[in-house]
Amino acid sequence: MRVDIKGRIEKMKLTKDKCFLPLFESVVNSFQSIEELEDRNDTYIEITVKRDFSQQCVEDVDFNSPIIGFVIEDNGIGFNKDNFESFDTSDSTYKFEKGGKGIGRFLWLKAFNEIKVESIFEEDSINKKITFDFELDNEPIKNIKKVDTNEVRKTTIYLNNLKLPFIEKTRKSLDTIGIEIIEHCLSYFLNDNCPNVLLKDDTSSVNLNKLLKNNMCISTVKENFIINNEVFSINHVKLYDLVGKKNRIHFCANNREVKSQNLSKKIADLNGIILKDENLNSTFIYSAYISGRLLDDNVNDERTDFNLKNNNLLNDNVTISDLEDKSIALIKEYLKDFINPIKEKKIQRIQEYICREKPQYKTILKYKEGALDSIPANIDDKKLEIELFKIKQSLNLEIKNQGEELLKENKAKDIANIEEYKKKYIDYIQKENDLGKSTLAEYITHRKVVIDLLENALNISAEGKYSLEEYIHQLIFPMRKTSDEVSYEDHNLWLIDEKLSYHFYLASDKPLKNIDVVNVDSLKRPDILIMDKPILIADDTNKPYNSLTIIEFKRAMRDGYSDDSNPIEQVYRYVRQIRKGSETDRRGRPLSVNPNTAFYLYIIADLTEDLRDYCESYNLDETVDGMGYFGYNDQKNINAYIEVISYDKLLEDAKKKNRVLFDKLFTPNI
């Protein structure tokens, strides 16, 4: 039966991030070749990295030039008759007991354009030398030459001209490549008879045995564990002084790494964390190596993954999830002395953050504290709030579902266990009450933020960096908007007066002639115009507004008002214009404003000497704190209550009105 090598290679999967896998397969072959020797003394593996230095910048000495090839040399048993026949046989079972799939060399053809093999071996007590090319063809072995030789035993594999799709992913240092080789072939490096392994390029070299000894501390205890009668083992590894590495879990087959995962996805407290070994006064990165017969039997041909059933099963008894969960539990136990302090510090930080910054999430501490385990230890405040929001939403849904289940039970004809139902009911009511408190806390927190913004604005304005009145206007209510466009949560009229939060209609910085409900032909723009309906309406066909509120902002520290431009006269003028409006609005509806409609006028401005003089001349009374004026104009065409509030008074009054709420919410219980 002929084998379609080209078709076979085309179907093989080798992603760019796995571009070093052909190298790893070659190194494993070298280890196995050395294992076949009776005498393993003075054995070696030498790996030469070929780089394209034409892309390197002379000034950038740290730049890792792309790799274009490898040369792998060892003094193992070599391409004797049995090994050559195995190499020449697709899907050979010759190394089946060692986990050989018989297709590793095909990965060379997948990644490289040129492969050459040269092997010196002993046959019938005579050293022989065989050379050949290995090409992408249905007869892949070409140009075979075999001669007697006096040269010493060694085998050299030349992997030349790495294919373009893989080159960009190879910009790595020798140390990085060395660590990846060690991780992939860890069990071979742990063997007492491990050969000397040297990795080099044109500028430097790394002894991987020394790299392992100096940078990795291997647990002397190899743990075995069982899942549904299947036996697995885990090796705990500490990697010291390795910059840029991540805590990882590696799943292995036949003594080789197949796939790995970032442990931070499984153990949040390891996210971006470099652990500290107090005994050695050193930091380290942790890796776990998982192996077992079930993994050996289910690795795919390319050794890039495991053959799964239903996207998750290794077999009917053990799933990948089962294996991951058990492994993670063992890792947590092994690292508990390192992880627990990190976790405790994280929980303490989250608790303080909630108590002092985001008390609306206090219900999480009571009902969902376990969910905090999933939050990374080094998360910043912005991302932390997002995670807390997700947990709170999950809690809200749980409480809602709990309430619906209780209603179902209540509607049933017979509640089997009334005492149990009472307990469920009391638990639900408690949670619902706490949820209500949490929502209130969220709103109070919002108020505190708004007051802080206002205070900050006053401080910045003193330095003359921007127009204060426009900033305050936007903070209280967006400019050039109406209440039809802005929700209750998106304005802060309570800063001026709590009752202003509830209104029928509001227009911000719009010409009077464009406000349908008052029908005034004027281009004048009151900063904010608010209209209220009466609580009781005797006749549905007659709906005059109970009151109108006008709010005017003035530039900070403005002085030099004229008689016509002073803000008191300005708001009175608005009142007169509105009262003189026609009997129907633009929609032809009945009169909106009648002579009895009350007006409330607010002027927000700094109390300069000029403005104080005008307040006095209009017979306004000074407030007790000296930061504002108030009064009532009973003229028939005005009929308005007026209040002049300084920016400082606006801030101080807002603080006083909300102080008891802030004290209750933000002062931790001792």
Q: What is the mean pLDDT of residues 603-622?
A: 89
Tell me how far apart the alpha carbons of residues 502 and 488 are, in angstroms, rounded to a whole number: 8
* Cα 335 to Cα 333: distance, rounded to the nearest angstrom: 6
Q: What is the layout of strands, in order, in the sheet containing 598-604?
A: 505-508, 528-532, 547-553, 598-604, 640-645, 628-633, 621-622
Residue 215 · residue 318 · CB < 8 Å? no
Of all residues in the chain, the percent with pLDDT exceeding 70 is: 73
Tokens linked to 187: 């069990």
DSSP string, 253-310: ETTEEEEEEEGGGT-GGGTTPPEEETTTTEEEEEEEEEEEHHHHHHB-TTSSSB--BT
Chain centroid offset of residue 214 CA: 34
Average pLDDT over residues 515-520: 47
Better-scored residue on pLDDT, 25 or 483: 25
Highest mean pLDDT among 154-163, 215-224, 445-454: 154-163
Average pLDDT, the chain: 78
Between the alpha carbon of residue 576 and those of residues 74, 526, 553, the distances in Å are: 101, 13, 19
Q: What's the pLDDT score for residue 2?
A: 56
> What would the pLDDT profile of 263-310 be if each residue is shown by its tens digit?
888 888 887 777 877 776 777 888 888 989 888 888 887 677 887 766
The pLDDT of residue 659 is above 50? yes
Q: Which residue has the higher pLDDT, 13 or 76?
A: 76
pTM passes above 0.75: no
Q: What is the pLDDT of residues 443-461, one digit of tens each?
A: 677 777 778 877 877 776 5
Helical ranges in 514-566 per DSSP H: none
407 — pLDDT class (breaks 50, 70, 90): low
Find the range with the poorest average confidence among 144-148, 312-316, 337-341, 368-372: 312-316
Better-scored residue on pLDDT, 432 or 1 = 432
Most confidently predicted of 19-33, 177-191, 228-242: 19-33
Q: How far is CA 81 from CA 75, 76, 78, 84, 109, in A?
A: 16, 14, 9, 5, 23
Residues 469, 553: contact at Cβ < 8 Å?
yes
- Tell me which DSSP letter residue 623 carries: P
Question: In angstroms, rounded to a whole number, what is the distance separating the alpha carbons of residues 76 and 65?
Answer: 31
**Quick one: tokens of 375?**
């939050």
Residue 409 has pLDDT above 90, yes or no: no
Q: Flag whether pLDDT at 96 surpasses 50.
A: no
- In the predicted structure, residue 354 carries a pLDDT above the cut 80: yes
| Percent of the chain's residues with pLDDT above 90 | 21
- Return left, alpha or beta for 305; rule: phi > 0 is left, psi -120 to 50 is alpha, else beta: beta
202 contacts 52 by C-beta, under 8 angstroms: no
DSSP code, position 326 = H
Residue among 335, 347, 319 nearest 249 (CA): 335
13 vs 514: CA distance, rounded Å: 67
Model pLDDT, residue 309: 66
Helix (H) or strand (E) holding 232, with range, is strand 230-240
d(CA 270, CA 264): 5
Q: What is the pLDDT of residues 52-72, one digit of tens each?
A: 877 655 444 445 789 999 999
> Which two three-digit tokens encode residue 119?
């092997």
Could you tell me the two tokens for 40? 């393993």
Range 6-34 average pLDDT:
85
Per-residue pLDDT for 541 more than 70?
no
Confidence (pLDDT) at 517: 46
CA dihedral (313, 316, 318, 321) in degrees, to 10, reads 30
Averaged over 158-178, what is the pLDDT? 89
DSSP state of 589: P
**Strands 628-633 and 505-508, bridge-based pairing:** unpaired
Question: Which amino acid makes up residue 284?
Answer: F
Among the ranges given (87-96, 176-185, 253-262, 442-451), the one the predictor scored with the smallest mean pLDDT: 87-96
Residue 529 has pLDDT above 70, yes or no: no
Q: Please report which confidence band the pLDDT of residue 606 belongs to, taking 50, 70 and 90 as the band edges.
A: confident
The tokens for 214 are 């100096």
pLDDT at res. 546: 72
> How many degrees, rounded to 5, is the angle at CA 270 between CA 325 and CA 362?
90
